[in-house]
Amino acid sequence: MRHPLFFAIACVLCAAAYSDWNVREAGAKGDGTIDDTAAFQRAMDDAGTAGGGVVHVPAGPYRIAGSLTIPRAVTLKGVFHAPPTDRGGQPLQLDGTVLQAFAGRGNAEGEPFIRLGGEMSTLSGVIIHYPEWRREDVPPIPYPPAIGATGVNDVAILDCLIVNAYEGIHFDRTARFIVRNVFGYPSYRGLYVDACYDIGRVENCHFWPFGVAYSPNDPYCLWVNTQGVAFEFARSDWQYVTNTFCFGYGVGYKFSKTKSGSCNGNFLGIGADSCRRAVLVEECQEPGLLITNGEFVGRWESEDSVCIEIAPESSNGKVSLTNCSFWGPNDRCVWLRTPDTQFTANACHFVHFDKNGTGAPAIQLDAGKAIIQGNTFGPGDTHVLIGEAVKSAIVMGNQASGGLAVENKAGDKTQLLANEESPIPWSRKSLSHYTVHVGADGDRPYVRHWHGPESAAEWPDGKGAKRWSQAESQLRLPVRPGKQYTIALDLNLPQGALGPGAGLYHGDELLVPFTGEARFVTVETELPRVREDHIVLTVKVPGWVPAELSKDSGDKRTLGVALRAVSMKTAWASRAAFNANTGAWEEDE
């Protein structure tokens, strides 16, 4: 049996081997003016030589003119555990441990400001600040990554804020990393991961314009909001990302491909607000990207935001969404463009889409395979568009106010089952004479590519609602196949909408021209007989912009004519008209 003194000595040696260091004791001044690079590196090297430990950095501003490397089993630890309070775009009050970064200005490929240089190296509780950053520099001046690791495993970044970096975190061949509670607003890219062949974890990270008065059209914010990437994952095997958020980036979550490959992983509780592409899938592995409880929003003031785009070059993988929500200024919510990817959306909520009023769908399937099941949709002309090249689409058990609107160009390759149908009780009688009150609730199934509802107070009787057309807008009206109909349009024809070619069309055939003086008028004409159960008519006019005609108008929309009502009658129609908005019967006025 060993003597008790042996164990006492062993404990003392163990404690000595894993002790604490302090950068102040190593000569760091922390006054923001004297270069503390050497003192920091000396303290960390001493800790590494001793077998590892914690190097403490007391509160204060530390000027670091060079770069730092954290050795194996060493933690560089500051006092920071929560992000500074946002001050409405005013400069952040940077309390706690602040490391001021200067090295590498103008060189994105240089040595990281802080390198995690060995296994179990950790950065914790610090603020990294770039004092030479200027909002006026657009595009932003490049710097190397604020924090990087190459060819080492089991490293960690905990409780850190990265203020105005060019690139925040860059990992290459770094398995089993942990990035937790990291905040900031890197301009070019927040986090990049490649060639990580074992599970990496990203938790509770928030890339948002801390310290920047955000405006979508400010030159700096616009650059980040169109060119920047918050999170990018190339080759990563079962990447775990939990409770992360970004705001104001060109791409929120980018899945790319390098010579090492692409990503698969589990993404839970992720969010992207005000992003031109909340999620961009350029490539993924066959096991797929599993996205649950996501929240995705288009870029404010954009016209082409798509929340999830699966690019044409993506192949072999699966993109699966469960319990996600899409809202804000979106053109489309989901755009599947590749023939080799399987897409699934289940229990998702597509609140807003078709921001431009052009008839863009919530989900556009150009190719590949898809299952759209158990989702809910907000108002829109088309909820799901299925292209000719789609190999297989199953659309089942979805709900939408007014009925699920599916445009199916894939024929019998599409299966439609148990989706909510229009609540309007169409019958032979109701199809013989009905009215669509344009601009009133319930008109969306019948109008495509029209602007939003407005009051029709300018009409002589001051009643009802209306919609303005664009230069080309459509009416999709139910009919009995093969029957003759007369249509009547209650219109406001402004002078700007009159001109050669203006009128109501069926395909390329002009049915009735819009000519003469600007006026309020009811235009009537007979329609051609069609074999389908609906007829599509197009209003074509020269577009005009109110703001260009009057300095007092701030309306920059391209408008055409204003439409208040559409009446459809057959020769045997009764006096009573069916209200196509509500399903009720009303007397013909």
Strands 332-336 and 289-292: what pairing? unpaired
Give 387: exposed, middle or buried? Use CB within 10 Å, 0-12, 13-18, 19+: middle
Structure tokens of 120? 């179990």
Beta-bridged to residue 239, according to DSSP, are 265
pLDDT for 12: 44
**Topology alike, domains 14-213 and 215-423:** yes
**SS3 state at 94:** coil
**What's the pLDDT tens digit per position in 258-277?**
999 999 999 999 999 999 99
**What's the pLDDT tens digit per position in 157-177?**
999 999 999 999 999 999 999
Residue 446 is given by DSSP the state G
Answer whether residue 84 shows pLDDT above 70. Answer: no
Q: What share of the chain is helix, strand, coil (3-state, %, to 5)?
A: 10, 45, 45
CATH number for the segment(s) 14-213: 2.160.20.10
Q: For residues 161 and 211, give the distance between their C-alpha atoms in angstroms, rounded to a whole number.
A: 11
Distances (CA, A) of 53 to 39, 50, 71: 16, 8, 10
- What is the CB-side half-sphere exposure of residue 248 using CA atoms within 13 A? 23
Q: Residue range 459-484: average pLDDT?
A: 95
Q: For residues 308 and 314, give the distance between their C-alpha atoms in angstroms, rounded to a whole number.
A: 13
pLDDT for 359: 81
**428-582 has CATH 2.60.120.260 classification:** no
Cβ atoms 305, 275 nearer than 8 A: yes
Distances (CA, A) of 565 to 278, 430, 452, 491: 38, 17, 15, 8
Answer whether residue 401 shows pLDDT above 90. Answer: no
Structure tokens of 132? 């030479």
Q: Residue range 68-79: average pLDDT?
A: 98
Cα radius of gyration rounded to whole Å, the chain: 31
pTM to 2 decimal places: 0.87
Answer whether residue 403 shows pLDDT above 80. Answer: yes
Residue 35 is given by DSSP the state B
Cβ atoms 91, 135 nearer than 8 A: no
Task: Return all residues near 446 (Cβ < 8 A) that are at least 6 apart.
Answer: 436, 438, 475, 476, 477, 566, 580
Cα distance from N-terminal residue to C-terminal residue, the chain:
109
What residue type is 130 in one-letter code?
Y
**What's the pLDDT tens digit per position in 205-260?**
999 998 888 999 999 999 999 999 999 999 999 999 999 999 999 999 999 999 99
**What phi-psi label fits residue 51: left (phi over 0), alpha (psi between -120 and 50 degrees) or beta?**
left
The answer to whether the peptide bond before residue 139 is cis (omega within 30 degrees of 0) is yes
Q: Write b or e for each residue in 402-412: b if 16 or more Cβ atoms lie within 10 A of its Cβ, otherwise e.
A: bbbbbebebee
Give residue limits of the domains in the chain.
14-213, 215-423, 428-582
Q: How far is Cα of residue 314 from the mean position of the Cα atoms in its chain?
A: 18
**What's the pLDDT tens digit per position in 551-560?**
888 898 999 9
pLDDT for 82: 79
Hey, what's the torsion of the CAs at 427, 428, 429, 434, to 10 degrees?
A: 80
**What's the pLDDT tens digit per position in 278-308?**
999 999 999 999 999 999 999 998 889 999 9
pLDDT for 211: 80
Architecture of domain 215-423: 3 Solenoid (2.160)
What is the percent of the chain where pLDDT is above 70?
Answer: 95
Q: Helices in 518-563 by DSSP H: which ranges?
A: 546-549
**What's the pLDDT tens digit per position in 494-535?**
999 999 999 999 999 999 999 888 799 999 999 999 999 999
